[in-house]
Amino acid sequence: MSAFAKLQLPDRGEKIAVKAGRLQVPNRPILPFIEGDGIGRDITPPTLKVLDAAIKKAYKGQREIAWLEIYAGAKAQKECGELLPQDTLKAIREFTIALKGPLETPIGSGFRSLNVTLRQELELYACIRPVRYIPGVPSPLKRPEEVNLVIFRENTEDVYAGIEWSAGSPEARKLIAWLKKEFSVQIREDSGIGIKPMSEYGSKRLIRKAIQYALDHRRRRVTLMHKGNIMKYTEGAFRKWGYELAAEEFSDRTITEDELWKKYDGKLPDGKTLINDRIADITFQHVLLRPSEFEVIATPNLNGDYLSDAAAAQVGGLGVAPGANIGDLTALYEPTHGTAPSHAGKNEANPTALILSGALMLDHLGWREAGELIQNALARTIQQKRVTYDLARQMEGAKRLSTSEFAEAIIENL
């Protein structure tokens, strides 16, 4: 095992091994976690308790996680004198799978988002956001139970690549002058400039993950969501590369919408998954009005960021939306929400999104039974109307619990 400058490794526990591209998970894997900024300190400790209790119950003490605290954000600044210590990146690489609370990004301060940095440094190119209704959660939809989709958002490219210069900077001025001279492009002198790179390699590896996920989880539809009607050579290319990839690598198990109508009169044949595409704006409408038409959505970075939060709102909001950032092997599980600073330190935030992210992580480890116990206990707790403030304010007759009380109620219901 590698040496770490400041981390205290747990006494017992082993590393997850990788053989022939597959994870070999021991009974006591060392898994790193980042507590997170803001409400991170409220939701992370009770989440670890829920995960531990579910694992204990599912495997009668035969399995256990050896947690390793690693640092990022304000706690890292305090403990290690920097926001993202090398130890943190090294530990996630070494132990392969980790859990993470939210991290703050001050707006417009020139400070690069730690979340984006983590994703880029670790090559976590797929952001996975399952959006599924938990019965009992207040929802603005008439039939929220129809929402059961998984969003695969590209994580490393697009306008999020961080290639931008502020208005009036020497770089922006130089670029504007060059574009004008070389390509006769007119851009106002006082413009800030951002670059939107989207590659065939980056798009295809994301779409490959989405299609593979659909096939592994018996999902019948993968939608490529893009804004290719306007941004033809980035978003439009994403669509083109998606169809190409499906034809090159998955032709025996997928069909396109064209083929569906030409050959099968619109009826999806057994054993095939449909690959279709939709423009981003209409997708927002359809996900709201006809959610059952979507199962897996693969989309570039910015579209995916917006859609993840919008879709989460349909099933109860950010407090209940889990997620993961995944590379070829490395995976970082984290909620969709941020640090919710106005609720920090008050023991009132909803830990559901982080708990469900943990349940997804258990699924990834192959510890499905423990993940299912958590999902069921959580649903039972919500049906009992024992909920945190965010859900209580929308539910009649609910008992408002603190973060830690809510976690205890889930443990009771395991």
Asked if 133 is an active-site residue, the reply is no
Catalytic residue among 87, 277, 305, 390: 305
Distances (CA, A) of 359 to 94, 304, 346, 370: 21, 22, 25, 7
Is the Cα dihedral 53, 54, 59, 65 positive or negative? negative
- Annotate each residue in 367-396 with x if it binds ligand NAP (CB under 6 A) or - if it does not, as one string: -----------------------x------
Q: Is 128 an interacting residue with respect to ligand NAP (CB under 6 A)?
A: no
**Among 96, 115, 357, 413, which residue sits at the site for ligand NAP (rule: CB under 6 A)?**
115
CA-CA distance, 198 to 37, in Å (whole number)?
Answer: 31
Asked if 267 is an active-site residue, the reply is no
Asked if 281 is an active-site residue, the reply is yes
Q: Is 45 an interacting residue with respect to ligand NAP (CB under 6 A)?
A: no
| Contact (Cβ atoms closer than 8 angstroms) between residue 102 and residue 39 | yes
- Specify the pairing of strand 22-24 against strand 30-34: unpaired
Is the Cα dihedral 164, 170, 173, 178 positive or negative? negative
Q: Is 295 an interacting residue with respect to ligand NAP (CB under 6 A)?
A: no
CA-CA distance, 386 to 392, in Å (whole number)?
Answer: 8
Stretch touching ligand NAP by CB under 6 A, among 26-34, 49-57, 86-94, 101-109: 101-109
**Among 68, 280, 349, 356, which residue sits at the site for ligand NAP (rule: CB under 6 A)?**
349
By CB under 6 A, how many residues form the interface with ligand NAP? 19
Catalytic residue among 100, 196, 209, 227: 227
What is the token pair recorded at 75?
Answer: 């706690």
| Contact (Cβ atoms closer than 8 angstroms) between residue 301 and residue 293 | no
Q: Is 118 an interacting residue with respect to ligand NAP (CB under 6 A)?
A: no
CA-CA distance, 128 to 296, in Å (whole number)?
Answer: 10
CA-CA distance, 118 to 194, in Å (whole number)?
Answer: 21
At closest approach, how far in Å is the CB of 390 from ligand NAP? 4
Stretch touching ligand NAP by CB under 6 A, among 168-176, 209-217, 220-228, 348-356: 348-356
At closest approach, how far in Å is the CB of 263 from ligand NAP? 43
At closest approach, how far in Å is the CB of 333 from ligand NAP? 11
Alpha-helix runs per DSSP H in 317-399 = 352-365, 368-383, 389-392
Q: Is 338 an interacting residue with respect to ligand NAP (CB under 6 A)?
A: yes
CA-CA distance, 113 to 119, in Å (whole number)?
Answer: 10
Which residues are annotated as catalytic?
A: 160, 227, 281, 305
Residues in contact with ligand NAP by CB under 6 A are 39, 102-105, 115, 318-319, 334, 337-342, 349-350, 353, 390
